[in-house]
Structure 1
Amino acid sequence: MTSQYQDPGQSSWGGGGESGPAMRMALPAVTPMVKRLMLINGVAWVAFFAAFMVDKSVFVVHLLGLSPQVWEANFPLVPVWQVLSYAFLHTVDPTHLLMNMLLLFFFGTMLETMLGSNRFLTLYLGAALCGALFHLMGEWMLGGSAPAIGASGAVLGVLVAAAVLRPDATVFLFFFPVRLKWLATGIVAIDAIRLLIGLKSGQSDMVAHFVHLGGALYGFLAARQGWVRWDPIGRWRQRRDAGRDNRRQVDQERLDGLLEKIHSQGLGSLSGKEKEFLKRVSRKG
């Protein structure tokens, strides 16, 4: 979970599946974007672990983690990259990473299968961003400064979105079948209760509950309001490809004109710029 060095008490999963005449406990095939995210998180953990072994200071946490203290000290020149980079940084305790990646494997694979890779990534990053904003605002209101790290806000956004889209899908919790809607509701409720207990007692359990609840809220709204259809990555690629096609067409028309000129007037009739254009086109070809 996204942490101030601890995970909330979420359970490990026996498997994932869907409701139907025959419930299966077979592991799903990991989807492309989930695989990439798991790889990035794994590599980042190894790098952080190595850095921690060399220097046990919290420099990396304050650089890449979501640090309200750093934001306050550097305002308005705040480290904006932290609103996403924190979600790829986990504690040196491997269970922190493994729990998040296990949840991402099951529910991310389910959601990416429904939405496609681009839309899934948009939702994942949106949940991470929303969780970051909740943490910054929550810590500011409470006068706290604890940094947050971990993918839990993004992962809970994925879980809640999947639960909204497929509420009656069945997953296995310690080999017992549970409807996804009740699983997501229970996890979010536990997070909210633990946050309230901490606020009342004035003692932190070292878990970034604001991040979790912010990510969960984004996942809920994204699925309920249809934001999951957003595909800014796909639209950017379409515009990029359209621009490339347009440039190719313009180059082809110019090339045809120059070839006609060479045919009628000879190569010597070309200007220096026209010859340079031919060289550039020939290198591309």
Structure 2
Amino acid sequence: MLTPVVRTLILLNVLAFVFTSQPVIEQFGLHSFLSDKFQPLQFLTHMFLHAGFGHIFSNMIGLFVFGPMLERVWGSRRFLFFYMFCGLGAALLYLGVNYYEMSRVYALVEEYRANPTPDAFWGFVESQASAAYDQLEGFIDAYTKNPDNQSFQRQSLSFVNGRWERLIDSPMVGASGAIFGVIMAFGLLFPNTELLLLFPPIPVKAKYLVLFYGAYEVYSGLYQAQSDNVAHFAHIGGMLFAFILVKYWGSQRKMFF
């Protein structure tokens, strides 16, 4: 049976999804600190937006399965605080890692702007846009044979600048950080509870599920392919902040709420 806060959160996410459009995501999704589109309000609003049906479905299933038991144990106020704490913590870690990664990319962009050469362009494509190599192969060959061609230089600069703008202006959306926090808390409080997986349909203890999720997200965050559009460090942030808060609450003799 759904508990009050879980029911309300699912309803808000579903309603937001119904009215979500690309302009809404662009305005209220979480942007990089380096983007002109960043607004502090996005720390909150991004948690109620989703990129597609599969995205919202998987998140709401996680909240539906793991959330009610936590809310019954903690109470509604404490559970809501925990959910928002994990979501905001996930956003902070994501933006911190994003700032570090984008600062390194910006250094490459500035370096290329100062000295646009075929070798430097190939190096940028290889490190930051490898998926586009096939469509750029002909251009790179022509540019290599004519390194002083100003038209090629302008086209390469246009590509590099466009790639940079797409990277910093791509918003992150979803409740995944908060949901992964909920999963982590469930695993910490009910480690030996057996859960039936869908694929494959076998029972597994909650603590092992959490361990698997955590290991997978760390690996994916460190070694993800450029085609991977998942904000793995937001997931890690949600789990990390959940671990900290659950352990902190566990060390207290009294409930705060």
The two structures have a TM-score, normalised by structure 2, of 0.69
* 1:282 aligned partner: none
Structure 2 unaligned blocks of 5 or more:
103-166
2:34 to 72, 75, 84: 72
* 2:93 pairs with one of 134, 149, 173: 134
What is the identity, as a one-letter code, of the residue corresponding to 2:15? V
Name the counterpart of 2:145: none
Alignment of 1:175-190 (within 5 A): 175-190=201-216
Q: CA deviation at 1:219?
A: 0.9
Q: CA deviation at 1:73?
A: 4.2
The alpha carbon displacement at 1:147 in A equals: 1.7
* Residue number in structure 1 paired with 2:61: 102
Aligned to 1:44, which of 16, 21, 26?
A: 16
Cα distance, 1:228 vs. partner? 9.9
Q: What's the offset of the Cα at 1:137? A: 0.7
Q: CA distance change for structure 1 residues 231 and 73 in 2, over 3 Å: closer, same or farther?
A: farther
Alignment of 1:197 with 2:223, yes or no, is yes
Residue 204 of structure 2: SS of its match in structure 1?
A: strand
CA distance in structure 2 between the aligned counterparts of 1:217 and 1:111, rounded to whole angstroms: 17
Distance in 1, Cα, partners of 2:205 & 2:64: 18
* Partner amino acid, structure 2, of 1:96: H
Q: Could you tell me whether the CA contact under 8 Å between 1:221 and 1:227 is conserved in 2?
A: no
**1:117 aligned to 2:108?**
no
Matched residue count: 189
Alignment partner of 1:171 is 2:195: yes
Residue 5 of structure 2 corresponds to 33
Whether 2:246 is the aligned partner of 1:223: answer yes
Q: Shift in Å at residue 96 of structure 1?
A: 0.8
Percent identity (aligned) = 35
What SS is found at the alignment partner of 1:226? helix
Superposed CA RMSD = 2.1
Q: From 44, 48, 63, give the equivalent of 1:88.
A: 48
Structure 1 regions of 5+ residues with no counterpart?
A: 1-28, 53-57, 235-285
How far 1:74 moved relative to its partner?
4.6
| Residue 188 of structure 1: how far off its partner (Å) | 1.5
Q: Which residue type is aligned with residue 208 of structure 1?
A: A
Contact 2:29/2:42, CA 8 A, preserved across alignment = yes
Letter in 2 for 1:196: L
Q: Any runs of at least 4 consecutive aligned residues in structure 1 with deviations exceeding 6 A, and if so which?
A: 227-232
Q: 1:149 matched to which residue of 2?
A: 173
Q: Larger C-alpha radius of gyration, 1 or 2? A: 1
In the alignment, the residues of structure 2 paired with residue 219 and residue 87 of structure 1 have an alpha-carbon distance, to the nearest angstrom, of 16
TM norm structure 1: 0.62
- 2:10 & 2:35 partners in 1: Cα distance? 33
